[in-house]
Structure 1
Amino acid sequence: MNLLKLIPLLACAVLLASTSACAGTLPPIKPVAHVDLPRFMGDWYVIATIPTRFEKHAYNALETYSLTPDGQVATSFHFRDGSFDQPVKSIHSTGFVKPDSGNAVWGVQVFWPIKAQYIVAWLKEDYSQVIVARDARDYTWIMARTPSVPAADYDRLMEKVKALGYPMDKIRKVPQAWPEAAP
């Protein structure tokens, strides 16, 4: 079998193994009851994260969501890799909202055929801050509509992430230095 054909299969196996390994030790993440998708769309600054390999050294990380006519969520992740002086990079993906989840559980696809779990685990009532989680507790994103949050809010958000069962030593606060024209 061609090595290129094996890569997606191996990626799926690794993703499933990491999800099932943690799923047995901690209860599933409980999503929020409902997400008003049109209200959720727009820019979200990544305040802190347990990063994927693509965002380990992200600066000015910004996630932008927009609804597509077919009800999917077009996602654009913009960041500078390694410093504020680097050029802006972008990663585009598609969010598929899980039926009967109150719009709070998605499958996000960066590379076909893999859809990564995306759970809106906590959402501030005014839609100004959010915690996105995964049952595997391998990645999380703490985001806000502004590039920074007050220290007391940051501490409360970290407590919420800790209560979800995440390893706090893996959290990375994302450097943000704005204003600059958003991508």
Structure 2
Amino acid sequence: MKLLSIVFAALVLLAGCTGVPKGIEPVTGFDPERYLGTWYEIARLDHSFEEGLSQVTAEYTLNEDGSIKVINRGYNQAKGEWKEAEGRAVPAGDSDVAHLKVSFFGPFYSSYVVFALDDDYANAYISGYNRNYLWFLSRTPQVSAAQLEAFKERATAEGFELGELIVVEHPSSD
């Protein structure tokens, strides 16, 4: 009975990591194949798994089983080395809703919720299962000041606290 209680508690905790923050609406009409390719991290709320990283990219490719292969990569200037993590993403529900479950650690999944996406799939705003996770991704390593400001305004309107927001450094293409 004790083992069953532990398993049930673990399942409840894991299920909580794949939800959508209250009030956040995932993009509908989502086309996962158009989302594939390279994205540059423009801004994020920092976490231990990305601490100190610059030049962060996410590469999404299709696996044979229909899931999405995720490779996140960033440069740790202090250590002078690249850090890379490989994961797998699957739809959390309907494939045309931009709510995915992403795993970098075996059977443990967490939410990846696209709550804003350009019609041309050039910029995306992503949340995790709660408002402690926030990313602004773009197909280009730099965006305009107006685009960054629009992201901040939308994130604030959605209830994200931006005091710890990091604008990610990427080499200039000049």
How far did residue 39 of structure 1 move? 1.0
Q: 1:9-48 maps to which residues of 2 (within 5 A)? A: 27-48=22-43
Whether the aligned pair in 1 keeps the contact of 2:68 and 2:89 (CA below 8 Å) is yes
Aligned to 2:3: none
Q: Which has the larger share of strand?
A: 2
* Cα offsets for 1:72-105 (capped at 9, x unmatched): 110001111135x822221111111123252411
- Is 1:121 equivalent to 2:115 in the alignment? yes
1:170 to 157, 164, 168: 164
> Which amino acid counterpart does residue 81 of structure 2 have in structure 1?
P
Aligned to 2:58: 63
Partner secondary structure for residue 47 of structure 1: strand
Quick one: distance in 2 between partners of 1:71 and 1:18? Answer: 22
Quick one: distance in 1 between partners of 2:104 and 2:169? Answer: 24
Whether the aligned pair in 1 keeps the contact of 2:16 and 2:129 (CA below 8 Å) is no
- Is 1:153 equivalent to 2:147 in the alignment? yes
* Cα offsets for 1:99-156 (capped at 9, x unmatched): 3252411111011231011101100111110001134101111010000101111100
> Which amino acid counterpart does residue 126 of structure 2 have in structure 1?
V
Aligned to 1:50: 45
Whether the aligned pair in 1 keeps the contact of 2:30 and 2:95 (CA below 8 Å) is no
TM-score of the superposition, structure 1-length normalised? Answer: 0.80
Aligned to 1:3: none
Runs of 4+ with deviation above 4 angstroms: 9-20
Partner secondary structure for residue 132 of structure 1: strand
* Cα offsets for 1:16-36 (capped at 9, x unmatched): 77889xx8xx72410011221
Aligned to 1:86: 80
Whether the aligned pair in 2 keeps the contact of 1:130 and 1:142 (CA below 8 Å) is yes
Worse-matched range after superposition: 94-103 or 161-170: 94-103
Aligned length: 168
C-alpha change, 1:105 and 1:19, in structure 2 (3 Å) is closer
Unaligned runs of 5+ in 1: 1-5
1:138 to 132, 143, 151: 132
TM-score of the superposition, structure 2-length normalised? Answer: 0.84
Whether the aligned pair in 2 keeps the contact of 1:28 and 1:135 (CA below 8 Å) is no
CA RMSD of aligned residues (A): 2.8
Identity of aligned residues (%): 26
Quick one: distance in 1 between partners of 2:99 and 2:87? Answer: 15
